[in-house]
């Protein structure tokens, strides 16, 4: 079981690291600025289709590249990650909760808020928490 959790943790960490990489100024500038940033910084994401999604990191990357979620929501997720002490700490908390919503919810605070934000996105829920 731990191996499966470790794989899931690594995948989630890569996805959250991508969110963490986006400069706050870009997110504050809005969706168009986010699209421009993705195009210039990660052009490989722009050419990825939803059918190409592999795992949790892929689901998060596709959502960012497709602007399926607004910059404001990404900024909220980014701030929750920071509030937990960074990507590694956030993933560690989710790993400790076995990536189960009930356990994440019981953690309360920023961990529960981050879990709720991520679980509210169907593709991320399916790829990261199922």
Structure confidence by residue, pLDDT tens digits, 85-129: 999 999 999 999 988 889 999 999 999 999 998 888 888 888 888
Q: Look at the chain and report how many structural domains it folds into.
A: 1
Instruction: Please state the pTM of the whole predicted model.
Output: 0.83
Neighbours of 57 (CB within 10 A): 20
* Helix 109-119 with 122-129: angle, nearest 10 deg: 110
Torsion of CA 25, 26, 32, 37, to 10 degrees: 150
109 token code pair: 């605070």
Q: Mean pLDDT of all residues in the chain?
A: 86
Range of the domain at 58: 2-129
Q: Residue 65's pLDDT is what? A: 80
């Amino acid at each position: 079981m731990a191996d499966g959790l470790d794989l899931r943790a690594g995948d989630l960490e890569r996805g959250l690291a991508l969110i963490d990489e986006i400069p706050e100024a870009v997110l504050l500038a809005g969706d168009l600025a986010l699209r421009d940033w993705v195009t210039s910084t990660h052009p490989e994401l722009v050419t990825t289709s939803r059918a190409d999604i592999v795992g949790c990191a892929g689901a998060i990357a596709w959502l960012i590249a497709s602007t399926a979620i607004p910059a404001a929501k990404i900024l909220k997720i980014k701030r929750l990650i920071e509030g937990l002490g960074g990507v590694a700490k956030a993933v560690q908390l989710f790993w400790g909760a076995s990536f189960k919503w009930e356990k994440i919810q019981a953690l309360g605070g920023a961990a529960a808020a981050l879990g709720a934000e991520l679980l509210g996105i169907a593709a991320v829920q399916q790829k990261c928490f199922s």
